[in-house]
Structure 1
Amino acid sequence: METIFELLYDNDLLRRELLDNFIPEAFDRKTAALLKQSGRSISAPRIKELRFRSGDRLRQHLPGDMKGWFPKKISWQQHRPMLEWIYFGRSDFSAPFYDQMLLRHGQNPINQLLGFTSPLDLVPKPEGPAPVPLSGLIFHISRCGSTLVSQMLSAVNGHRVISEPGPVDAVLRGRFRDPSVGDDLRAQWLKRLVNIFGQRLTPRDRRLFIKLDAWHMMALPLIHRTFPGVPILFLYRHPLEVLVSHERKPGRHTVPGEIPVEWFGGTKMQLKDMGLDTYPVWVLESMLNTACDHAESIRFSSMDYAQLPESLWAIDNNPFGLNFSDGEIQSMKAASGYYSKDPGRRFRNDTREKQKSAGVKLRGLVKKMMLPTWEKWLESHGNRIRQP
């Protein structure tokens, strides 16, 4: 049986025949037929069993022609980032989050049968046409409409939006895996990932946008230096409304221990002194303070939740400096009518509801811990769309 897998891993031409067979039964029959032509006798039902077998599928091997292969996750082996691959094919990237894309395509038969991993620092540039240009980076304070923005952008034909990809987070926080990982190395790895995300799959591909995780605001200077000249949009919202949302369903960065406290400029001693109700407020203040500190030197655009969705497609002053056509604006308007995290629900602005439901304790914490930073932000940078 190992001989069969060696053949599938080593024979790029044979494997290429299997890639776009997304119907499991057809994939199993095709695989069995191709193996038979190569002198290996195996039945389609046995191929099905192998797709669901337990055990390690990964081989340290590039997937040959890399077109349609995307980053799945990054693991670390002896202080070296190893990139695991997944085959998307010519996917439309319509899911609200990259993790949902991984779940969807994890069901593709080729991804069930085979697994590839390779050192990130040895990944070559994708072959073929030049990658789709990176047209915008989306930062946000969380629960402030960033997913709505990414869904509106992805509704435009030729746009590809990569939303909160785990491999980017793994690279940005790589120094917590290996303290010797410096900014230059992280920048190099980020460029490799963006080249892969931007591989041109169809002639229609024109623009690439990446929406980062909320806590990546702390890495704004590094990301800006890595991609100078790429327009940056920072989305924000009244902190009380953001924190009400996190009270109901905590985000990863608001749970102590999920993201190292040092990432936000704190210490473990500070963490010990903070309660569960205080920590999310402190994290939000750290992110907003970073935005204040760099808004002039980096000159990114900013947008309040209350300005959505119309400000995204503003003809004279949209945050990415793009001249959207009437058709593109109509596509974004259509997408803006739905709740971004659940396309089956209609979107509505819930500012009043969030403000009304905030408890006395939370209001007190926000006033004590965030009010000065919030007022500083509004006075100097809030509610302004500015071209980089």
Structure 2
Amino acid sequence: MEPVLSAVPQPVPARLHHEAGRITADWADIAGTDPGLPFFDDRIAGAGPGWRAELPLTGDAPAPAALILHTGRCGSTLVSRSLSLLTRCHVVSEPQALNDVLSVDGVWPFLPAATKVEALRRVAAALARIARPDQDRFILKLSSWNALHLPLLDQAFPGVPKLFVYRRPDEILVSLRDRPAGWMRRAAHRMQAGLFLGGTPSQVADTPLAFAAQVLGRILAGVVRDVERQGAGDWLLVPYEALPQALTTQILPWLGLIPTAEEADRLAHAAGRHAKDPTGRQRFEPDGTRKRAAVTADLAALARDLADAHHDRLEHLRLQAGQA
């Protein structure tokens, strides 16, 4: 299927700033860029020259129909790209402007929670406004580390259902060892790393991979607390092993979506492709067995000491809620 490219202007916030008490943004017009690209910033990279202007109030823009949170390296991009194939879904994946609000860079970590909540709402509203008239499901996929900020996200988007995609910690750590994530560089700067973790510099692990295990453990623990506090009804928990079948058996019913025959064909095709390949030509090969075979004793110890218990508790909550 050829992507539908918009000829109507689609101004979006690319980066966010807090200047003299005002929330401003670097804007880009993404009209004419491919909405099927894996990440929102891929579209911004293909846009024309940008400009700086204030970020408008939320107005009457719709709230997200769902948030997608995840551990990273777990199949979440398959979920977001597949949902973007459905006519009714307006999917925005990991926008940098939202990352800016939750980052430990610049002034953002030192601003009041109420200011950050307002900024998150304004970013989401700006992204919602570019949806087509036939897109009534605005789905916001967050970056993996954004889940460290669940209390802020719950304040910004109260009552919005949350989908959490996750995977065995040792398999994630193998992937992060082989292809480190950008946020792992924080480990080299203990003050920033402490802020990133929500703790103190003295609590930061002394290697990037150990830091990654700490972050993963905190993400899982935070989701466990939120599920236990809110009840599993507000969450859909999807393990990597359930994909891609869970797309049609769990995720679409949870969103209240019934695909047409044409959309079902698109989903089936997407399930066999590597989700992070922008061309859509690279075949997807399940790699769980290979990753488990690559787990070293040191890596297994990191997973066991910092993340496994939270993963196991989450699995228990998922099964207890009947989300098998």
Pick the TM interval, shorter chain: 0.7 to 0.9
Q: Could you list the runs of 5+ residues in structure 2 that have no partner in the other structure?
A: 1-5
- Code of the aligned partner of 1:140: H
Residue of structure 1 aligned with 2:200, choices 251, 267, 279: 267
Shift of 1:143: 0.2
Instruction: State the Cα deviation string for residues 144-186 of structure 1 (Å, max 9, x = none).
Output: 0011111100111232211110100112337961565222222
Are 1:151 and 2:81 counterparts?
yes
Alignment RMSD (CA, Å) = 2.8
TM-score by length of 1: 0.72
Change (3 A) 1:103 1:90: closer
1:333 is aligned to 2:275: no
1:224/1:325 CA distance change after superposition, 3 Å: farther
Picking from 53, 71, 74, the partner of 2:16 is 74
Look up the SS of the partner of 2:164 in the other structure: strand
Distance 1:363 1:329, change over 3 A: same
Q: Superposition pairs for residues 38-187 of structure 1, below 5 Å?
A: 67-78=9-20, 80-89=22-31, 91-105=33-47, 108=48, 111=49, 115-120=50-55, 123-124=56-57, 131=61, 134-173=64-103, 177-178=107-108, 181-187=111-117
| Equivalent pair of 1:98/1:164 in contact (CA under 8 Å) | yes
Distance 1:244 1:96 in 2: 22
Distance, in Å, in 2 between the alignment partners of 1:276 and 1:174 is 17
Task: Report the Cα distance in structure 2 between the residues aligned to 1:370 and 1:291, rounded to whole angstroms.
Answer: 12
User: Are 1:304 and 2:246 an aligned pair?
Assistant: no
Does the residue aligned with 1:318 lie in a helix, a strand or coil?
helix
CA distance in 1, matches of 2:98, 2:195: 18
Residues 244, 357 of structure 1: 8 Å contact kept: yes
Structure-2 separation of matches of 1:102 and 1:135: 23
**Aligned partner (choices 121, 127, 139) of residue 209 of structure 1:** 139
Counterpart in the other structure of 1:379: 316
The residue identity in structure 2 corresponding to 1:247 is R
Structure label with greater radius of gyration: 1
3-state DSSP of counterpart to 1:246? helix
Map of 1:54 onto structure 2: none
Question: What TM-score does the superposition give when structure 2 sets the normalisation length?
Answer: 0.85
- Number of matched pairs: 310
Looking at structure 1, the residues matched to 188 and 134 of structure 2 have their Cα atoms a distance apart, in angstroms, of 43
Tell me if the contact between 1:132 and 1:207 (Cα under 8 Å) persists in the aligned partners.
no
* Cα contact 2:40–2:94 (8 A) shared by 1: yes
Given residue 103 of structure 1, which amino acid in structure 2 is its aligned partner? A
Q: State yes or no: 1:366 paired with 2:308.
A: no
CA distance in 2, matches of 1:321, 1:374: 28
Q: Post-superposition shift, 1:289?
A: 0.8
Residue 320 of structure 1 is matched in structure 2 by: 255
Partner of 1:286: 218
Give the Cα separation in 2 of the matches to 1:275 and 1:175: 21
Segments of structure 1 that go 5 or more residues without pairing to the other structure are 1-18, 21-65
Q: SS state of the match for residue 135, structure 2?
A: coil
Higher relative CO (Cα under 8 Å, sequence separation at least 6) belongs to: 2
